[in-house]
A and B are shown apart, each in its own frame.
Chain A
Amino acid sequence: MVGEMVDTSQTYVPRDSGVLKLWHWLRSHPALLPVVLSVVMALVFALTVPNFADLRNIMNIFGQLGFLGFLCIGMTYVMVAGGIDLSSYTVVSAAAVVGATVMVATDSTVPGCLLMLVIGLAFGTINGIAIAYLRMVPFIVTLSTMVLAEGFAIWFTQAQSVYGLPYAFIDIFSARILPMTWGISARPVGIPVAGIAVLVAALILGFVLSRTLYGRRVYLTGANEETARISGIRVRRIKFSTYVLAGLMAAITAMILTADLGTATTAMVRDVRLMDIIAATVIGGASLKGGKGSILGSMFGLLFLTMLSNAFNLLGVSPFIAMVIKGTVLVAVIGLDVLRAK
């Protein structure tokens, strides 16, 4: 028996293209989750936590984004390309103490800042060469440079803080502009420059990552290194560049933090903050397997975590309880990521 001919050529026209489009759109916008989370969280806290919606507090939160924001941007690039960078927060200290020492000695801003940049980039280059060209495991390499940078900073300062920074330096980086009054704030509150800086950096580097040739190459390298390489993408160069960028971001963080604290110490970014950086990036849609994530997502991930800490602070919740809650949120988000991948 020979089967009768059936004309089935139309079956593959999308039957319900509205649903299909929504599906694709949700899939291609994982940053939606942290954005929604942040907005909901902001509303809830504004209504329930006293002083949360106060202008001064809002500007505080905005300024705090400047502390970890750059590190999150660097981490996003590294993770999208399929790597991880555990060293960035101790590199901040290493760059800060050397740069600050030179600033104090010369009483001028520029040489010290340049030195911070050099040290940040140097650590990024070491990570990049070891991982991209010598093919060592990112986790191990950056764990080593993390210890190396910390050891270096402690040795260099003999565990002492560096004081006496030039006022010009402090004024530039910890400045607040456009003072205004709003709500119950008695004194005018300015917009922190650090927050503006991170916003500008996020817009530019977010654009580069999501829209440009280089950015696509970073994504494809992380999505499947072997395929990317065979497709003609110089994956080693791409991976190298992401670690150098992370180093640069650590250097900028060193400047902002040193100015804000008015001092440089060996433990400027405490180790629990490393977890915040990774958590913000993962909440923002990045995956430890690479190829996923976005600057927009990471920034909202960071905003979410910063608001959480801030609200707990205002409520007087123990910071350790806050850590437990943050850890729980992170596990929940990663769980969601696994579900989404199914």
Chain B
Amino acid sequence: MTAKLHMQGVTKVFPGVKALDDVSISVKSGEVLGLVGVNGAGKSTLMNVLGGIYRPDGGHIEIDGRRVDFARPIDADAAGIAFIHQELLYFPSLTVAENMFISHLPTGKLPFSVDKRAARARAQASLDQLGSGIRPTARMESLSVGEMQVVEIARAVAMGADIVIFDEPSSSLSIKEKEALFNIVRKLKAEGKAVIYISHFLDEIQELCDRYVVLRNGQLVGSGDIAEVTHDQIVEMIVGQVVTERAARTRRKGGAPMLSLEGIRREGILDGASLELREGEVLGLWGLMGSGRTELIRSVLGLDPMDGGRITLAIDGDSREVSHDELLERTAYVTESRRTDGLFLDEAIWKNISSTTLADYARGRMRVLDKAAEAGTARSMIDRLKIMTPDHHTQAAILSGGNQQKVVFAKWLNRKPDILILDEPTRGVDVSSKGEIGELVGALAEAGTSVLLVTSEIEEMVALADRVLVLRDGMIAAEMLGEDITETALMAAALRTEAAHA
């Protein structure tokens, strides 16, 4: 059988970067191809070429053995390619059905009219086909990230796509949503679609994919059958060197109380959550999406309303009640969504990095900024965190997802904070950088920083947290210490909460 899709010798050059260098891949119908590689390896770019978003500078695409040329995304659409993007694109105030058919609304009897009933029925049919319970009339903004993704996939199904691309689909999903996603991918495969699946989670790749392709620095450095390689071999190909086992670590005890929250309440979300964060510890906050983890942080920092509760902070050894602004000033906060509130997307990397410590660069009575010093800091951060970019003047928006996340980290490291709050700190970050960020967090805690960690990744919680609090229904429901922090225990705690909600 010939390949459904073949990309031959694709090359793509951006100013200062050769994002793809003579890459060839093929996928057969009924096959799932795993696409892996470090941040900035070129995975999204390769798929953007396939999706008609970028024109390649070299090479071509064949579908069913025939050469095709996509000038615009619509051309790729028409050729049966559906692209589930890394960052979902949608119209929040429209309904699910309207979002699904935004470019192909069934027309009604009158000219320019829209047959809403037909749109709803077709939406319902493809959602059913995926075994999803989402209503076509629901507003997009009322859905969780996982549900929105299902809508995108349903859209692909409804369009009759037979090549489906997933770009890091699982990075913002809860455990249950991930299971649902995997089932959908298996279903697509069984229906004979050709699927390309990008992920930094190698266990997902091993579970779902038939074959794999590894990209590094825009080049294809390995490919083959999943069954014939081990986890460690893939990691080696991805990072380009032999990986060493990390030594087992001991859990830190933590010192004097740094921050204590008492009875934090917020209408309908938080119901008297209390916790104490100590000096030099990594405190994990565990719970399913929607349990109030992010809301707790935002309320306490004054970014969302808070209806009650006390915030006490140790300042120079003295504990006293503080305002939201005082806390915000002493806190570094790596937010959950880098694009909305982590980065200045249109600005250069160096301006992003210095943004948290601007006053340190102000000189003289006019408070003139020392741009050379800002650039110097940016360059050293780029080296330290191995941010892949042509230079520090590059706009944050054009970095790959994982490298954007590193820029967010860089801007906070620059501040040397007392309190570091991490909300999904490694979302979209590759295996090797994940390890580096983990080490960095550990080193900061060793040096006395108090770290509050929110993550949906179970391995990350086990690897980093010294103590874990389980958040359920806006309250702290349980605490786990030392050896009790295991994957099984965390899984049980999460499933208990999910079950309670079902």
Chain A interface residues toward B at CB < 8 A:
1-9, 11-12, 14-17, 19-20, 23-24, 27-28, 207-208, 211-214, 216-217, 220, 223-224, 226-234, 291-292
Contacts and interface: CB of A to CB of B under 8 A. Distances in A.
B484 interface: no
A160 to B, nearest CB: 45
B347 A3 contact: no
A227 B341 contact: yes
Contacts of B341: 224, 226-227, 230
Interface in B289-329: 301, 303, 325, 328-329
A338 to B, nearest CB: 14
21 contacts: A1-B224, A1-B229, A2-B233, A2-B237, A3-B220, A12-B390, A14-B16, A14-B391, A16-B16, A20-B390, A212-B362, A212-B368, A213-B369, A224-B341, A224-B344, A227-B340, A230-B301, A232-B356, A233-B358, A291-B344, A292-B346
A23 B15 contact: yes
Contact of B355 (A8, A9, A11, A231): A231
Given A3-B221, A3-B223, A227-B341, A212 B21 contact: no
A15 B57 CA distance: 16
Contacts of B223: 1, 3
Contacts of B217: 8-9, 11-12
A5 B329 CA distance: 47
A234 B323 CA distance: 14
A231 to B, nearest CB: 5
Contacts, number: 135
Interface in B325-365: 325, 328-329, 333, 335, 340-348, 351, 355-356, 358-359, 361-362
Given A3-B223, A224-B345, A19 B333 contact: no
B222 A4 contact: yes
B373 to A, nearest CB: 13
Contact of B328 (A17, A220, A230, A292): A230
B221 A5 contact: yes
Given A8-B216, A223-B347, 15 more contacts: A2-B233, A3-B214, A3-B221, A4-B221, A14-B390, A15-B18, A19-B15, A20-B15, A24-B348, A24-B393, A211-B366, A212-B366, A230-B333, A232-B329, A291-B347
A16 to B, nearest CB: 7
B369 A233 contact: no
A9 B233 CA distance: 20
B219 interface: yes
Contacts of B16: 14-17, 20
A231 B411 contact: yes
Contacts of A27: 395
Contacts of B255: none
A95 to B, nearest CB: 29
A332 B5 CA distance: 42
A6 to B, nearest CB: 5
B65 interface: no
Given A12-B390, A217-B358, A226-B340, A1 B228 contact: yes
Contact of A11 (B21, B220, B222, B347): B21
Interface residues of B, number: 58
Nearest to B241: A5
B343 A11 contact: no
B169 interface: no
B420 to A, nearest CB: 13
Contacts of A217: 358
Contacts of B415: 232
B218 interface: yes
A252 B240 CA distance: 65
B265 to A, nearest CB: 22
A7 B344 CA distance: 33
Contacts of B390: 12, 14, 20
B71 interface: no
Contact of A291 (B222, B225, B346): B346
Contact of B218 (A11, A28, A230): A11
B240 A11 contact: no
Interface string B386-397: 001111011100
A3 B236 CA distance: 10
A308 B42 CA distance: 49
B367 interface: yes
A2 B222 contact: yes
Contacts of A223: 344, 346-347
Nearest to B220: A3
A16 B15 CA distance: 8
Nearest to B344: A223
A145 to B, nearest CB: 28
Given A2-B237, A24-B393, A227 B342 contact: yes
B74 interface: no
Nearest to A229: B303
Contacts of B359: 213
Contacts of A8: 216-219, 221, 240
Contacts of B367: 212-214
Given A12-B388, A19-B15, A227 B369 contact: no
B17 interface: yes
A232 B328 contact: yes
Find the residue from B214, B216, B233, B345 having the highest chain A CB count within 10 A: B216
B9 to A, nearest CB: 16
Nearest to A226: B341
A69 B341 CA distance: 35
Nearest to B237: A3
Nearest to B214: A3
Contacts of A1: 222-225, 228-229
